[in-house]
Amino acid sequence: MVIAVLLVTLSCSETKRKPKGKIKEIVYDSQLSAAAKKALTKKLDKYFTDQSRHHRFNGSVLIAKKNEIIFSGDYGFANFANKTELNDSSIYQLASLSKQFTAAAIVILQQEGKLDYDDTITKFYPDFHYNKVTIRQCLNHTAGLPKYFWIAENKWEYEYPPTNQQMMEMMEDDDVLPYFGAGRKYAYSNSAYMVLAAIIEKVSGLSYSEFLKENIFNPIGMNNSFAYSFTYDKDRNNQLYGYRKRGRRYIKIPGTINDGIVGDKNIYSTTYDLFKWYKVLNSNRLISDSSRTLMYSLGKTSKGYEIPYGFGFHIEEKNGEKIIFHNGKWNGFRNTFSQYPDDDLLIIVLEHSSYRGFSAFVNSVKGIVDEFDY
Which CATH number do you get for residue 204?
A: 3.40.710.10
* Percent of the chain whose predicted confidence (pLDDT) is above 90: 84
Find the DSSP H helices in 34-181: 34-55, 99-111, 135-140, 148-155, 164-170
Read off the pLDDT of residues 330-340 as tens digits, 9 standing for 90 and up: 999 999 999 99
- Give the pLDDT score at 175: 82
| pLDDT for res 10 | 31
How far apart are the C-alpha atoms of 58 and 60, rounded to whole Å?
7
Q: Is the dihedral of CA 148, 152, 154, 156 positive or negative?
A: positive
| For range 172-187, the mean pLDDT | 91
Instruction: For residue 158, give the H/E element and its range.
Output: none
The CA-based angle 251-231-194, given to 5 degrees, is 100
Write down the pTM of the prediction. 0.91
Lowest average pLDDT, out of 9-13, 189-193, 271-275, 345-349, goes to 9-13
pLDDT at 77: 96
- Residue 357 confidence class, pLDDT cut points 50, 70, 90: confident
State the burial class of residue 251 (Cβ atoms within 10 Å of its Cβ: 0-12, 13-18, 19+): middle
Query: Do the Cβ atoms of 121 and 129 come closer than 8 Å?
Result: no
Q: How many domains in the chain?
A: 1
Identify the band that residue 15 occupies on the pLDDT scale cut at 50, 70 and 90. Answer: very low
| Domain coverage including residue 255 | 1-374
pLDDT confidence of residue 2: 34
Q: pLDDT tens digits for 240-251?
A: 999 999 988 999
CA nearest 45: which of 68, 18, 24, 15?
A: 24
* CA proximity to 196, closest of 267, 131, 109, 263: 263
**In sequence order, which ranges of the chain are alpha helices (DSSP H)?**
34-55, 99-111, 135-140, 148-155, 164-170, 190-204, 208-212, 218-220, 271-281, 289-295, 358-370
Q: What would the pLDDT profile of 79-105 be if each residue is shown by its tens digit?
A: 999 999 999 999 999 999 999 999 999
Q: Give 31's pLDDT tier (boundaries 50, 70, 90).
A: low
Nearest to 163 by CA among 264, 262, 265: 262
